[in-house]
């Protein structure tokens, strides 16, 4: 699993990471799925403990090309958690009010409180990805944002937030198959938009933008993990295992009762 984590300062070339790699998971597909289900159960237990202790905060960032499985990852990995202390936040096109502030203004309010897990399904990283590819802001503006993002994430971690950032890495061939599946399946057709084809034409530009973003913002306090995502069962296992391992390192304890039970009438 460690080989999937980008070390601070390391050069990143996405072509060196195989989206179909299975070496980070145990056994075959059936065994991996079984272990993923157990990890989801364990995640539910740890999430309850996180909320009960009310000390730690966990922010999970999911990024990836269209069809990389951000929604599917949330649905499968987080299937055992309670909605009481888990939220999913998505960031769409900025509103006029949001555009009047800095690009991180709307993000800060969505970060986790004590005892909470928050998942960013796409995130503030769109402000160095889509805005770059579509030339929505000048180059000198989006280049400065790498440093601002690092500072923002460091500030969050210094105030008790643990950050895990996943890049769901799929191949161009796999994306084509998933887009076709959306067209062929009436129950998935609603997910398909004509703009998906236009975005696909910019594949190489997006790959370069992701490479630079991952390389420049993988830090000791908020590292990136490149998740092989051509196989959904591999993707789900890697994400679930990373989250469970992170929560277990918190060494959480249920709070002790401060009231003498014998005094309750």
| Distance of alpha carbon 112 from alpha carbon 122, whole angstroms | 16
Q: Is residue 200 part of a domain?
A: yes
Q: Is residue 255 part of a domain?
A: no
Query: What is the signed CA dihedral for 54, 56, 57, 62, rounded to 10 degrees?
Result: -130
What pLDDT does 189 receive? 78
Number of domains observed in the structure of the chain: 1
What pLDDT does 124 receive? 95
**Secondary structure of 79-123 in the HEC alphabet?**
CCCCCCCEEEEECCCCCHHHHCCCCCHHHHCCCCCCCCEEEEECC
Range of the domain at 222: 2-249
Q: Is residue 30 part of a domain?
A: yes
Q: Is residue 256 part of a domain?
A: no
What pLDDT does 252 receive? 94
What pLDDT does 265 receive? 62
Q: Is residue 65 part of a domain?
A: yes
What pLDDT does 91 receive? 87
Q: Which residue has the tokens 């805005």?
A: 131
List per-residue pLDDT tens for the chain, 265 residues long.
788 999 999 999 999 999 999 999 988 999 999 999 999 999 999 999 999 999 999 999 999 999 999 999 999 988 888 888 899 998 888 899 999 999 999 999 999 999 999 999 999 999 999 999 999 999 999 999 999 999 999 999 999 999 999 999 999 999 999 999 988 888 887 878 778 888 999 999 999 999 999 999 999 999 999 999 999 999 999 999 999 999 999 999 998 877 776 666 6
C-alpha dihedral sign at 58, 118, 152, 128: positive
What pLDDT does 87 receive? 92
In CATH, what number is assigned to the domain containing residue 27? Answer: 3.40.50.300
Q: Is residue 257 part of a domain?
A: no
Q: Is residue 216 part of a domain?
A: yes
pTM for the complete prediction? 0.93
Q: Is residue 78 part of a domain?
A: yes
């Amino acid at each position: 699993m460690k080989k999937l984590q980008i070390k601070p300062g390391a050069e990143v070339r996405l072509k060196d990471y195989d989206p179909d790699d299975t070496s980070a998971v145990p056994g075959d597909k059936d065994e991996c799925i079984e272990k993923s289900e157990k990890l989801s159960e364990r995640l539910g237990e740890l999430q309850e403990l996180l909320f009960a202790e009310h000390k730690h905060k966990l922010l999970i960032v999911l990024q990836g090309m269209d069809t990389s499985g951000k929604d599917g990852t949330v649905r499968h990995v987080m299937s055992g958690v309670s909605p009481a202390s888990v939220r999913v936040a998505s960031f769409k096109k900025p509103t006029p009010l949001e555009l009047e502030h800095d690009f991180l203004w709307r993000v800060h309010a969505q970060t986790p409180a004590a005892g909470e897990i928050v998942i960013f399904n796409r995130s503030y990283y769109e402000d160095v990805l889509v805005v770059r590819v579509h030339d929505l802001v000048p180059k000198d503006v989006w280049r400065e944002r790498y440093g601002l993002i690092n500072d923002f994430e460091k500030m969050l971690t210094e105030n008790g937030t643990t950050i895990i950032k996943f890049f769901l890495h799929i191949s161009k061939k796999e994306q084509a198959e998933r887009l076709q599946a959306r067209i062929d399946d009436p129950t998935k057709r609603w997910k398909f938009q004509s703009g998906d084809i236009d975005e696909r034409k910019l594949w190489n530009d997006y790959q370069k933008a992701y490479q630079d973003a991952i390389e420049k913002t993988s830090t000791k306090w908020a590292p990136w993990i490149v998740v092989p995502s051509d196989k959904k069962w591999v993707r789900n296992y890697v994400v679930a295992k990373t989250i469970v391992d992170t929560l277990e390192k918190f060494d959480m304890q249920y709070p002790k009762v401060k009231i003498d039970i014998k005094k309750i009438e």
